[in-house]
Amino acid sequence: MNKSQIAKKYLEHLEKGNIEKVINLFSNNGIVESPIYGIKKADEFYRELNNDTSNSELILKGIFEQNESNNLALYFTYKWTLKNNEKVEFDVVDIIELDSENKITKLKIIYDTVISRKLVNDLNE
């Protein structure tokens, strides 16, 4: 798979809640940096996110590739329904770093957390 195909598979698996398939896109030491969940190994992050989620809808707005590197960015809208049926919608930019085998080594998530942070805190109280 090329960079763009990996990005699309990532969004597809995430939206469907196929956490094992998402994790399989990462290298063994792959990490995720999230504004709400912090820096975690990919498997830990996606299992925690999945535990807090009842539904996800992701609407891709663009994939931005850097030709001379293994980096790319995804721009999408995330419609997130938490386990307690609270809903939040926000735009996200994911910065993805790939290794030479096109496995994700780092995924940095960037979005405004004003509403979502409160909802996740309320859910986990």
Q: What percent of the chain has pLDDT over 70?
A: 92
Q: State both tokens at 17.
A: 């809640």
**Can you give the pLDDT at residue 54?**
93
For the record, the structure tokens of 8 come out as 């699309």
Q: pLDDT-derived band of residue 2, with 50, 70 and 90 as boundaries? A: confident
The two beta strands, 26-34 and 104-110, are: parallel
Average pLDDT over residues 87-110: 94
Chain segment 39-85, per-residue pLDDT in tens: 999 999 999 999 999 999 999 999 999 888 899 999 999 998 988 98
CB 115 within 8 A of CB 36: no
- As a whole number, mean pLDDT of residues 114-120 equals 66
105 Cβ contact list (under 8 Å, min separation 6): 26, 27, 29, 30, 31, 97, 98, 99
Q: Which residues contact 3 (CB under 8 A, 6 or more apart)?
A: 63, 65, 70, 72, 96, 98, 102
Q: Residue 37: is its pLDDT beyond 70?
A: yes
